Structure 1
Amino acid sequence: MTTPAAKPRVLMVGLGMIGASFAKALCLSQAATVIGLDAQPGVADKARAMGIVDEAVSFPDLNTTFDAVILAVPVLAMGPVLTQLKPWLSADTVISDVGSVKGAVVDAARDALGQLPAGFVPGHPIAGAERSGLAAAKSDLFDHHLLILTPLPTSSAEAVQLLTRLWQSVGADVVTMSVSRHDEVLAATSHLPHLLAFSLVDTLARESENREIFRYAAGGFRDFTRIAASDPTMWHDVFLANREATLNILRRFQSDLTVLADAIEHREGATLKSVFGRAKSARDYFTEILSSRQRHTDDIRKNLIAAPVRAGLAGAVAVPGDRSISHRAVILAALAEGQSELRGFGNGHDNRTTLEALRKLGVGIEADDTGCVQLTGVGRQGLKAADSPLYMGNSATSMRLMAGVLSAQSFSSELIGDASLSHRPMDRIQQPLQSMGARIDLSPRKTAPIVIHPAEALKPLDYQLPMASAQVKTALLFAGLCSGVSMRLQEAGPSRNHTEVLLARLGCPIHAEAGVIELAPARQWAGFQSDIPGDFSLAAVHLAAASLVPGSEVTMSGVGVNPSRVGLLDVMGRMGARIELTNYRDLGGEPVADLQVNYAPLVATEGAADVAGLLIDEYPLLFVLATQAEGISRFSGVRELRYKETDRLKTMVEGLTTLGADIELKGDAVIIRGRSDRPLDGGIVDCGGDHRVALAYVVAAQTALRPIIIRNSGRVLGAYPDFAEHALALGYSVTVED
């Protein structure tokens, strides 16, 4: 096995369209040295001449070394090919494939190799085309398409990591699932549609006079039957290899067709409308998932160009509704009985993700552009099983909170996310939920996808949280609420208490004091109305920027100032910031105020580990402020920043160093030597798709010497949709570049 820093040598066996495309993309990315091998004489040499592979070899004179082998051959050919390769395979060789059936590949590998080596990790890219051969090779074929790895109990973490790096280098979003689940999913979403397309075209074309029908076929027929142009030999292998899963879904489909045929025969219009309505809703959700993925992809690729401003920032804005409260309020409203109305609901992508998940679980929801959400709660045990995995996008809050709710339901669920979310740790909720009796499966890396199985009645929980995490705390509380059991949680440190505030307001028996939260068995609660305050984390961006730019005076109205959220105010106060809170009031049980901030010179400060949970999302902004504060600032206990949308510690330290800051990371502490007379320089930084990091760099640019180009920062527009408008109103110099 090569070390992560080494450039691996990859043997690509089979240079059809998929194999050649992967080889070409790997060569262009320079992530590996690619060696081509194909059963047809001359193909590998031609691929080398076309620049698709770096080297060409052939059987039986395979006189080269390689670290990994990718089998891009038909499924039924996997066994014979592995038998041929066996003499050249070592204990450290990583072995994978691109077949659309995984169970048959595992069986073939076991038969050919005797036992499954640690380097064997089956894989399947969800990408392809009807064309075949070297000429069809596309280097961007896998760009932002899913690549499913199906690690086995025998698979090594090193093999999974190498394959993940290789596929990510060609633009794929890597996710993992079990072999059996993969074959079930692909039978339903790929194999059955191909079977139907082949069958329909064959039925219509079987007799010569029927071919005339094709002259009158419209776009719908063309679109549906496009996949009938696929390689018959390949699909022959697929259906025989995935026989059981395909038959299961085919027989279910046959049964549903019989229902439709009977409804048409007996003029049962209600049945037809019911089926068509369910299908349209499911298709709309599927379309939303695809468009959401595309929006996220488009957003990430955008750059922000932030330039220094020559005059102070000035004006007044109202930031969007609090994202954390919005998640919790809409879930509790869905689990209530009766009508609820939420006003000021957060308008970011993550909150919309939670809305769509609840809709798919059977909750009726109406939402308008003003932030008003009306919904009919189904009760804490009234959710319905989703007909496909729940897509959580980039929202860890949606995934963790919904996992707590679903662990107490009587049906199975699967939660999936994008590539970034699929790298976030999920064992922090798995372990305590399993202690309650929940049945939860994760990937071998302890990440999503999360598969939740029905469990017997959950048990009471007495648990000490290993980290300060409002998400984990809330997931457990939601599991306790839905299952009606008692719970005692000991927090590792203070964290956001929005869940406790909401539950107390709804009359749930909860008590929180001195870091201990106790929940008694709760009765069903009724629907409610709630106003959601402005998001302090978004207001914090303007607090930081106005504090740095001389002559600034900015006001933000209706901002939530829950004490568990405003740790940044305390730290900035110690640094000398001029922030005034006025017009205190209560909104939906949460304290709210108007914030006014004026420019003020800043001095260095220290942030202790025991309050890290109170400003976990504001650390990137705080690091920027510290670079312009006089003296040495030290922030301890910030290790949790490594497990956000990106490794925020690494990203911020590297980016601020690029901009000329004197910053270093020692253990879990960040040390910044700031100087008020030394502005940051301009340059190019990459936020890794993390909107909080991107916004911190925007703040840094306001007093920098030159503009800062922030790559992959378009998620700012999804997390804070009003940002461009607010930035213009306050006088920022920010433009968006595709």
Structure 2
Amino acid sequence: MNLTFDHPSLKGSIQVPGDKSISHRSIMFGAIASGTTTVEGFLLGEDCLSTIDCFRNLGVEIRLDHEKVTITSKGIAHWKEPSRVLDTGNSGTTTRLMLGLLAGTNFHSVMAGDDSIAKRPMKRIVEPLRRMGADIRGREDGRFTPLAINGTQLKAINYSLPVASAQVKSAILLAALQATGTTAIEEPVATRDHTEIMLRQFGAEINRNGSTIEIAGGQELAARHVKVPGDISSAAFMIGAALVTRGSEITLENVGINPTRTGILDVISEMGADFEILETETEGERVADLVIRSSELTGIEIGGELIPRLIDEIPVIALIATQCQGTTVIKDAEELRVKETDRITAVVDELTKMGADIRATEDGMVIKGPTQLNGAAMTTYGDHRLGMMAAVASLAAEGPVTIDEPDCIAVSYPGFMDHLNSLVR
């Protein structure tokens, strides 16, 4: 894909696609619950479609009508043993959360995904599930997919997460629903709580005391209606687009602003961005319209407890930092090295091609700005976040930008380029 923009500005309003994390969980909870669950605003991205495919192969009836999904289930006890390998595609969320669900079933199943999933660490999920009594086997003793799960009766555990991970926490919570006793999970830093919110929405009792979450096993969930807000991780790239193009003002409608996900807003606020949060009344997840205006920005230091709240947005934050006055330091983000690709190395390599003053560190990167970006041939490594970063960078570049494998963007943001082009003036 070739992109050339001649000093554009961005104007107008768009609604970004549904939140990926919530879309995944809406299918999972609809499959666990008894009755018919309806989902509005579902993300039609490849990762979320992989989740639907897996549950269909477990015998759950799922109907898809554009962004509306209907899930009819009699509950987890009525799932069927799959006749083939459950293909999770490129989705780490599907793979990891389903481990928690499948561990407590009464049948055998096997999960595998694409080449990227085959390289991503699974032991962090497998170990606590084994402590609960799960029988999980796989490559390198369960470190990597494919993973074979022999469902068994699980027991509750007390578990302290060694790393802050919403996926590990969620997998244990989902397994705990099927376990005997009360499971307690202590997390070192608060992470995304979409699973906890949805558990309550579907009728489960779950308690938090400080950094510890407790949930009793044997609870049954009831079907309900789920409204999925726009994904702030997708909105972040449009936020970045407005901030790096002069004379821009855009409105992003119906964006989820769950406090565990709004690190990007904290970062741009500290950088000096001009924006507004117009919150609306909703049930469950918090939602707002975001108004973003191009701004003169200053480099900052980003690290510590903020990192889990913006881990997926770091590629676009790095891009924004190239246009800031001064130095931006991103640290404590070593988790980026085990994403769809090693995002620290990839972000640094790709922005360096464009002339950015950026260097990698063991757990992050250092960016000095402002720097004039130049056209370049950008590589996505099949990573949707890097594809969107490259497209946004083209707005600030002198000369054409080419992007290999642009189709990878559809993993999380189908129609991204259409939305971006609709805002260009």
How far apart are residue 583 of structure 1 and its match?
4.0
Match of 1:343 among 29, 35, 40: 40
Match of 1:673 among 355, 359, 368: 368
Which amino acid in structure 2 is aligned with residue 721 of structure 1? P
Paired position in structure 2 for 1:358: 55
- Superposed counterparts of 1:287-436, under 5 Å: 304-369=1-66, 371-436=67-132
Match of 2:135 among 419, 439, 446: 439
CA contact (8 A) 2:234 2:412 kept: no
Which amino acid in structure 1 is aligned with residue 314 of structure 2? Y
- Superposed counterparts of 1:593-604, under 5 Å: 593-604=288-299
Which amino acid in structure 2 is aligned with residue 460 of structure 1? A
Q: What is the alpha-carbon distance in structure 1 between the residues aligned to residue 71 and residue 56 of structure 2?
A: 10
Q: What is the alpha-carbon distance in structure 2 between the residues aligned to residue 502 and residue 308 of structure 1?
A: 42
How far apart are residue 382 of structure 1 and its match?
1.9
User: Aligned in 2, Cα 1:484/1:323: closer, same or farther, shift over 3 Å?
Assistant: farther
Which of the pair is proportionally richer in helix?
Answer: 1
Paired position in structure 2 for 1:479: 175
Which amino acid in structure 1 is aligned with residue 262 of structure 2? V
How far apart are residue 380 of structure 1 and its match?
2.8
How far apart are residue 694 of structure 1 and its match?
1.2
**1:719 has 2:412 as partner:** yes
Paired position in structure 1 for 2:397: 704
- Superposed counterparts of 1:202-351, under 5 Å: 304-351=1-48
**Aligned length, in residue pairs:** 424
User: Aligned in 2, Cα 1:453/1:522: closer, same or farther, shift over 3 Å?
Assistant: closer
CA contact (8 A) 1:548 1:601 kept: no
1:512-554 C-alpha deviation (Å, 9 max, x unpaired): 2432211123421211111111111111111111011011111
How far apart are residue 422 of structure 1 and its match?
0.8
CA contact (8 A) 2:33 2:202 kept: no
How far apart are residue 492 of structure 1 and its match?
2.5
1:146-193 C-alpha deviation (Å, 9 max, x unpaired): xxxxxxxxxxxxxxxxxxxxxxxxxxxxxxxxxxxxxxxxxxxxxxxx
**1:469 has 2:165 as partner:** yes
**1:660 has 2:364 as partner:** no
Paired position in structure 1 for 2:237: 541
How far apart are residue 459 of structure 1 and its match?
1.2
Match of 2:255 among 559, 562, 577: 559
- 3-state SS of paired residue (2:336): helix
Which amino acid in structure 2 is aligned with residue 584 of structure 1? T
How far apart are residue 381 of structure 1 and its match?
2.0
CA contact (8 A) 1:407 1:453 kept: yes
How far apart are residue 717 of structure 1 and its match?
2.8
How far apart are residue 471 of structure 1 and its match?
1.1
Paired position in structure 1 for 2:340: 645
- 3-state SS of paired residue (1:341): strand
Paired position in structure 1 for 2:203: 507
How far apart are residue 712 of structure 1 and its match?
2.6
**1:682 has 2:372 as partner:** no
CA contact (8 A) 2:240 2:320 kept: yes
Taking structure 2 as the reference length, the TM-score comes to 0.97
CA contact (8 A) 2:156 2:217 kept: no
CA contact (8 A) 2:154 2:178 kept: no
Paired position in structure 2 for 1:458: 154
Identity among equivalent positions (%) equals 38
How far apart are residue 660 of structure 1 and its match?
1.1
CA contact (8 A) 1:337 1:527 kept: yes
Paired position in structure 2 for 1:623: 318
CA contact (8 A) 1:549 1:599 kept: yes
Match of 2:328 among 633, 652, 657: 633
- 3-state SS of paired residue (1:594): strand
CA contact (8 A) 2:29 2:202 kept: no
Which amino acid in structure 1 is aligned with residue 4 of structure 2? A
- 3-state SS of paired residue (1:381): helix
Larger relative contact order (CA 8 Å, sep ≥ 6): 2
CA contact (8 A) 2:155 2:180 kept: no
- 3-state SS of paired residue (1:444): helix
CA contact (8 A) 1:404 1:433 kept: yes
Q: What is the alpha-carbon distance in structure 2 between the residues aligned to residue 641 and residue 504 of structure 1?
A: 30
- 3-state SS of paired residue (1:714): helix
Moved more, 662-671 or 422-431: 662-671
Q: What is the alpha-carbon distance in structure 1 between the residues aligned to residue 322 and residue 348 of structure 2?
A: 11
Paired position in structure 2 for 1:550: 246
Which amino acid in structure 2 is aligned with residue 722 of structure 1? G
1:442-498 C-alpha deviation (Å, 9 max, x unpaired): 21282100110132x211111111211111111111111133542111113221110
1:655-706 C-alpha deviation (Å, 9 max, x unpaired): 111211111122213111112xx31121112120001011112111111112
CA contact (8 A) 1:606 1:635 kept: yes
- 3-state SS of paired residue (2:149): strand
Which amino acid in structure 2 is aligned with residue 607 of structure 1? I
User: Aligned in 2, Cα 1:513/1:657: closer, same or farther, shift over 3 Å?
Assistant: farther
User: Aligned in 2, Cα 1:730/1:484: closer, same or farther, shift over 3 Å?
Assistant: farther
Match of 1:494 among 174, 185, 190: 190
- 3-state SS of paired residue (1:496): coil
1:547-605 C-alpha deviation (Å, 9 max, x unpaired): 11011111111110000111000001000111211142214x10000111011111001
Q: What is the alpha-carbon distance in structure 1 between the residues aligned to residue 252 and residue 218 of structure 2?
A: 38
- 3-state SS of paired residue (1:511): strand
Q: What is the alpha-carbon distance in structure 2 between the residues aligned to residue 338 and residue 680 of structure 1?
A: 54
Which amino acid in structure 2 is aligned with residue 668 of structure 1? D
Moved more, 481-490 or 653-662: 481-490
Q: What is the alpha-carbon distance in structure 2 between the residues aligned to residue 673 and residue 515 of structure 1?
A: 36
1:17-56 C-alpha deviation (Å, 9 max, x unpaired): xxxxxxxxxxxxxxxxxxxxxxxxxxxxxxxxxxxxxxxx
Structure of greater Rg = 1
Moved over 3 A (4+): none
CA contact (8 A) 1:394 1:420 kept: yes
- 3-state SS of paired residue (2:286): strand
Which amino acid in structure 2 is aligned with residue 322 of structure 1? D
Q: What is the alpha-carbon distance in structure 2 between the residues aligned to residue 694 and residue 356 of structure 1?
A: 25
Paired position in structure 1 for 2:285: 590
Q: What is the alpha-carbon distance in structure 2 between the residues aligned to residue 508 and residue 359 of structure 1?
A: 24
CA contact (8 A) 1:380 1:524 kept: no
Query: Gapped runs of 5+ residues in structure 2?
Result: none
Q: What is the alpha-carbon distance in structure 2 between the residues aligned to residue 309 and residue 401 of structure 1?
A: 44
Q: What is the alpha-carbon distance in structure 2 between the residues aligned to residue 516 and residue 641 of structure 1?
A: 25
Query: Gapped runs of 5+ residues in structure 1?
Result: 1-303, 733-738
Which amino acid in structure 2 is aligned with residue 712 of structure 1? E
